[in-house]
Structure 1
Amino acid sequence: MKKTLGILLVATLTLTACGRVRDSAINPFNWFGGSETVETSEEEVNPLIPVKKDSILNREPVTYRGTPVADLTTLKIERVAGGAIVRVKGVASSQGSFDVRLEPENEDLIPVKGVLTYTLLAVQPPGFRQGPARSREITAAAFLTNQQLASVRTIRVVGANKTLQSRR
């Protein structure tokens, strides 16, 4: 009983002290003060908004340094809701390939005589060892909508040494 009364008394004193801490500098919520409305002129620059030339979104376009992948092993077209996924697996000439892309050769994905052509590209840095084929495998995929597939009869994927295609 005496312990409970002591704990209750200490808790009450601590709680009443919070009223004094609320407006003091000890309280972290008071460190920056309240907000205020400030008029801005058109010439004033907001420091929170980056200048367009320094923006991540407005950088100069970087040229893609990818080269065609040496060998293509499999080409699969998998039907999914709303279209199809074109999935290609290839073997790069050396280990360490990255930034793998399946780039369309046709402008705006419009097939030429029913053929939609892609190229399997990857950035392949020099100086890496060749290693076993399993360690050099890379995969890329592209989604095509039903509207894009409407006039496509053949999908062709080009590599450096081999071309694979799939027909309807």
Structure 2
Amino acid sequence: MMKLTAPLLIATMALVGCGRLGDSRWNPLSWGSAPVRTLEPEGGYAQTSDTRPLIPQIIAARWEPLNEGRLLVVEGFAPVRGYSSVALVTAQPQPGGRLAPDADGVLRLRLVGVPPAPGSAAALPARPGVDEIRTAMAISSVQLARIAAVEITSAGNVVRLGR
């Protein structure tokens, strides 16, 4: 029985090291220099920026409470109706829709949208107070903890909100 115990113990340790704990020090295949593991895709994150033009003017911006953070509501105005795909996007491209403020704690956003095609039926003159452009962005409590202020830029003005 004693002759069989040592080989069984060694074989068991070798199998455990190569199993679920494949990254452990017991795995003989990981004893060499292992490549650095990261979640970043090969070639890095794509740095594509949003090419939609800025909305001409911001009328108002406000915070609305949510259960897990706040909702940033921004209202804009354009001289014509028919803007589509209106959104708040970060001024600097960030991977995976992250909302990270700059070094000074300010989250810089842009109010963008696609204007109607010139001469289309959607490009009628806009009426102030009626044809406002409204969009919102939910910001979680975790993201808000790192943000001191939010600065929203349009083609005509900049609005800054404190947290």
For this structure pair, what is the TM-score category when the shorter chain's length is used for normalisation? 0.5 to 0.7
Q: What does residue range 4-83 of structure 1 map to in structure 2 within 5 Å?
A: 66-83=52-69
Cα separation, partners in 2 of 1:135 and 1:101, compared to 1, 3 Å: same
Residue aligning to 2:106: 115
Residue aligning to 2:3: none
- Structure of larger gyration radius: 1
Q: How well do the aligned residues superpose, as a CA RMSD in angstroms?
A: 1.8
Residue aligning to 2:87: 101
2:162 maps to 1:162: no
Cα separation, partners in 2 of 1:92 and 1:131, compared to 1, 3 Å: closer
After TM superposition, give the deviation of residue 105 of structure 1 in Å. 1.9
After TM superposition, give the deviation of residue 136 of structure 1 in Å. 3.2
SS of 1:149's equivalent in the other structure is helix
Higher helix share: 1
Residue aligning to 1:39: none
Task: Give CA deviations for 1:13-72 in whole Å, capped at 9, x if unaligned.
Answer: xxxxxxxxxxxxxxxxxxxxxxxxxxxxxxxxxxxxxxxxxxxxxxxxxx9662111110
Moved over 6 A (4+): none
Number of corresponding residues: 106
Task: Give unpaired runs (5+ residues) of structure 2.
Answer: 1-48
